[in-house]
């Protein structure tokens, strides 16, 4: 790890808050902005590390190269937790690692989720699908809990960590609904096999529908089958998560509570659009996210 004043100091500073994974105006930015100042850099670095792992899926086209890059990050995470990382991204995590001994498993869970997607594996049941969603932001939220540990709270007991994982899965599900068109055009999974069979759709049909809509928007080609598009909207409505339990949310650190409330407001907008999301992206304005984050910080 390059120390203060060395040639890597400026590079490390680029990963402090705010960084490319937590740009001003984003939900991730506001969830950190209202946190204690001493934690912001570590939290921003956790979001950035997840972003680097996820970007392997879209930035590396060769599967072999992508797996090697993922393996490198796995090794680098292990080195970072031992205080000898090579990548400047790991530098802002050092204080949290010294104070809270961040566990390795949630980092590996995020990497495993990326590996599953690289391999094109699919979830067969809703339970399996939810578990995989938890391996993404759920693992990140568990690490956020560890960053908030102190002797006076219980933020790293099993129940709270399980709640953090469910909160991350919940937010990931909302984000997948919003990005459904892009995800399908990339051939990514949005629903488990048992739910697709229940509604009478297949992964290949979903991809064809998304590609047809994209072609129509770009070149004036034929619209996708209206009945298939209607079934897709029904599928997305079925995937929409129930409200996250208030009691479980209350036990979680402020950054996660802010994330939950912002994503709950986003879900309301998706419902108002009747989940017709194949060719549009719905979001909240930065001002609305700021208002939600401020109110959450005061409650």
User: Percent of the chain beyond pLDDT 90?
Assistant: 67
Mean pLDDT of the chain: 90
Cβ(278)–Cβ(206) under 8 Å?
Answer: no
pLDDT confidence bin for 153, thresholds 50/70/90: low
pLDDT confidence bin for 216, thresholds 50/70/90: low
Residue range 239-260: mean pLDDT, rounded: 96
What tokens does 149 get? 């540990």
Residue 276 has pLDDT above 70, yes or no: yes
| pLDDT (0 to 100) of residue 217 | 60
3-state SS assignment for residue 241: coil
| pLDDT (0 to 100) of residue 53 | 96
DSSP state of 86: S
For 123-144, the pLDDT digits (tens) are 999 999 999 999 999 999 999 9
| pLDDT (0 to 100) of residue 2 | 37
| pLDDT (0 to 100) of residue 220 | 52
pLDDT confidence bin for 212, thresholds 50/70/90: confident
Residue 5 has pLDDT above 50, yes or no: no
N- to C-terminal Cα distance for the chain?
39
This prediction has a pTM of: 0.91
Give the Cα separation of 47 and 169 in Å (integer): 15
Residue 145 has pLDDT above 60, yes or no: yes
Cβ(206)–Cβ(187) under 8 Å?
Answer: no
pLDDT confidence bin for 184, thresholds 50/70/90: very high
Give the Cα separation of 195 and 189 in Å (integer): 12
User: Percent of the chain beyond pLDDT 70?
Assistant: 91
Residue 290 has pLDDT above 50, yes or no: yes
| pLDDT (0 to 100) of residue 268 | 98
Give the Cα separation of 22 and 25 in Å (integer): 8
DSSP state of 220: -
Give the Cα separation of 259 and 292 in Å (integer): 9
For 36-84, the pLDDT digits (tens) are 999 999 999 999 999 999 999 989 989 999 999 999 999 999 998 888 8
- Residue 238: partners with Cβ closer than 8 Å, 6 or more residues away: 195, 199
């Amino acid at each position: 790890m390059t120390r203060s004043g060395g040639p890597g100091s400026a590079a490390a500073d680029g990963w402090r808050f705010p960084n490319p994974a937590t740009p001003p105006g984003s939900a991730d930015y506001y969830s950190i902005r209202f946190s204690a100042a001493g934690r912001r850099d570590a939290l921003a670095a956790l979001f950035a590390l997840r972003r680097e792992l996820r970007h392997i899926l879209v930035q590396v086209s060769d599967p072999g190269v992508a797996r090697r890059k993922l393996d490198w990050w796995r090794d680098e995470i292990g080195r970072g937790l031992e205080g000898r990382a090579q990548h400047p991204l790991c530098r802002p995590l050092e204080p949290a690692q010294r104070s809270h001994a961040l566990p390795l498993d949630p980092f590996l869970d995020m990497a495993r989720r990326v590996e599953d997607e690289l391999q094109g594996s699919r979830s067969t049941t809703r339970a399996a699908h939810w578990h995989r969603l938890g391996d993404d932001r759920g693992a990140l939220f568990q690490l956020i809990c560890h960053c908030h540990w102190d002797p006076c709270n219980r933020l790293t007991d099993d129940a709270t960590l399980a709640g953090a994982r469910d909160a991350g899965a919940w937010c990931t599900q909302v984000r997948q609904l919003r990005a459904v068109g892009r995800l399908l055009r990339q051939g990514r999974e949005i629903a488990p096999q048992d739910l697709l069979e229940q509604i009478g759709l297949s992964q290949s049909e979903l991809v064809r529908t998304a590609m047809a809509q994209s072609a129509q928007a770009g070149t004036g080609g034929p619209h996708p089958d209206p009945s298939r598009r209607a079934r897709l909207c029904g599928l997305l409505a079925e995937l929409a998560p129930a409200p996250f339990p208030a009691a479980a949310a209350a036990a979680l650190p402020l950054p996660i509570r802010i994330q939950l409330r912002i994503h709950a407001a986003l879900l309301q907008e998706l419902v108002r659009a009747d989940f017709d999301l194949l060719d549009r992206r719905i979001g909240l304005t930065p001002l609305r996210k700021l208002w939600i984050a401020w109110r959450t910080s005061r409650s």
